[in-house]
Structure 1
Amino acid sequence: MSELLAGLGLRRGLSDALQSVPPGRIDFMEVAPENWIPVGGRLRREFDRFAERYPIYLHGLSLNIGGFAPLDRDLLVSIRQFMSDYACPLYTEHLTYCADDGHLYDLLPIPFTEEAVKHVAERVRQVQDILGEQIAFENASYYAAPGQVMSESAFIRAVLEEADCKLLLDVNNIYVNSINHRYDPLRFLDELPLERACYMHIAGHFEEAEDIRVDTHGADVIEPVWDLLEAAYARTGPLPTLVERDFNFPPVEQLLSEVDRVRAAQLRQQAAVELS
């Protein structure tokens, strides 16, 4: 998937403004399948118009891969059908848990332990068997690490290797975690299994305090995160990359300028490779 592709998340609060975007400004769109699978009527027709114009990537919210409740097989079968209906190139999810006798409406950190690696990897294999393909998991933002035995990067590597799945590299999450947990983001990047990276996210966040960042997807991308994206491309090549914005939407041209900036970074990396 080493392609020069820069995308934007399709959110209902943006749909009216995005309908008039000229061809070539966005290469693909991403949606949470849970938000669109049950939808019909006017909203489905609107979605179908976007799907006719753009490849649709899927980024799930409720797989609960780290949880103990049985996997939602009905949801996974619906996602498989949705992927088939819309020729979706990729389904990704969060390396978190989000349910315990009911949905918790938050993405919570899985303990970084060998026991958790085996538990999660077995569930990932089940998901991939149902879907009939590899999926990718995102390095998540988190604010506490209960029961930590392994490092975050070692945990991610162990899960991906044992489950034989791919990595969604979220550059903003690395930056947020590096501030909150006081580590070097470049060193962390080098510790990840980047050979499994197939897709990237970049987003804005909220500065709660000098040493606390909150992953909100509700602000512009800041310069240190852009720098980290360039560093990631230098290690992985220019993978398809999504600009995430979930609320507090600016004028659409401002979002498109961030998409343009992703594409420019990809082109610089491609040129650097060709010159080397």
Structure 2
Amino acid sequence: MHTALPPRSTGLGLRRALLDSLIEAPAGAFDFLECAPDNWIGVGGVLGEQLTTLTARYPLSCHGLSLSLGGPDPLDIALLQQTRQFLDRHHAVLYSEHLSYCSADGHLYDLLPLPFTEDAVHHVAARIRTAQDVLGRRIAVENVSYYAAPFQQLSEIDFIAAVLAEADCDLLLDVNNVYVNAINHRYDARAFITAMPSQRIASYHIAGHFDEADDLKIDTHGMPVKDAVWQLLDFSYAHHGLRPTVLERDFNFPPFAQLLDEVALIRSAQARVA
């Protein structure tokens, strides 16, 4: 049974298109895998067997997609209970969700930003506490990329800090999302990283994005990680210390060896700090 991840560890997103490559990967190519339970709950047959093979071999981190922690609809308790069973069955060592919402009188099939207000802090923090109670574990919430900014009574930094404190939960710091938002909304990415509470950071994400224009970046998870994002990861490690770090890639997959090369770059960045 896998019980915890060391701060100096590297992970890769477990995607169905990569199952065969992940199973055949050389020993030591990565330290753990991350999947979205929402995409695997109830899946059996060959795919379920492959998942079980991998989670027996590697520690598993889980990253939810559908809880809609900030949404107006009641929390999906049945999904939370199914997620808890999944996490327990596969001995998941971390669980995270997005600090956003994805349903409002039905599923919206997108991760939408919350208004940065005191009311939203209280609303989402209460829902996170409920989710943690049902799941029987602490969760981490991820800072999300967004393109239209809803009402901002608070700064994004203050909003995130207030949610973390009131919910007593952790932070999954997505470095690429910080970079994308910093370009799109014209703020200093390093100042944002610096302002995050070190003691709350449970893990990092890193991913590629699409350059729509010099002042518009789209978070796609379908491209190689850009140099500026690697530099921001270095800065994050230097300021906050090492944490388990996942390379996310959701589509437009390159040859598997190229993904492992990016995982190796995470390891190199961690080694420079260590």
Moved more, 14-23 or 174-183: 14-23
The Cα RMSD (Å) is 0.9
After superposition, where does 1:149-168 map in structure 2 within 5 Å? 149-168=153-172
2:175 is the alignment partner of 1:171: yes
Tell me how far 1:2 sits from its aligned partner: 5.1
Aligned to 2:80: 76
Aligned to 1:145: 149
CA distance in 1, matches of 2:116, 2:149: 7
Query: Secondary structure of 1:19's partner?
Result: helix
CA distance in 1, matches of 2:89, 2:214: 46
Gaps of 5+ in 2: none
CA distance in 2, matches of 1:56, 1:8: 10
CA distance in 2, matches of 1:27, 1:209: 35
Read off the aligned partner of 1:127 and give its amino acid letter: A
Query: Secondary structure of 2:173's partner?
Result: strand
After superposition, where does 1:92-241 map in structure 2 within 5 Å? 92-241=96-245
Task: State the Cα deviation string for residues 179-232 of structure 1 (Å, max 9, x = none).
Answer: 000011011111222220010000000011110000000000011100000100
TM-score w.r.t. length of structure 1: 0.96
Contact 1:136 1:168 in 2 (8 A): yes
Percent identity of the aligned residues?
57
Moved more, 144-153 or 160-169: 144-153
- Count matched residues: 270
Contact 1:2 1:198 in 2 (8 A): no
CA distance in 2, matches of 1:98, 1:118: 18
Contact 1:2 1:237 in 2 (8 A): no
Task: State the Cα deviation string for residues 87-132 of structure 1 (Å, max 9, x = none).
Answer: 1001100000000111000000000001100000000110011111
Contact 1:58 1:91 in 2 (8 A): yes
Query: Secondary structure of 1:13's partner?
Result: helix
Task: State the Cα deviation string for residues 127-183 of structure 1 (Å, max 9, x = none).
Answer: 011111110000100001111111111100000001000000000000000000001
Query: Secondary structure of 1:25's partner?
Result: coil
Query: Secondary structure of 1:14's partner?
Result: helix
Read off the aligned partner of 2:106 and give its amino acid letter: G
Contact 1:112 1:147 in 2 (8 A): yes
Q: Where do 4+ consecutive residues of structure 1 move more than 4 Å?
A: none
Aligned to 1:21: 25
CA distance in 1, matches of 2:155, 2:68: 21
Query: Secondary structure of 2:17's partner?
Result: coil
Gaps of 5+ in 1: 271-276
Moved more, 156-165 or 141-150: 141-150
Moved more, 35-44 or 12-21: 12-21
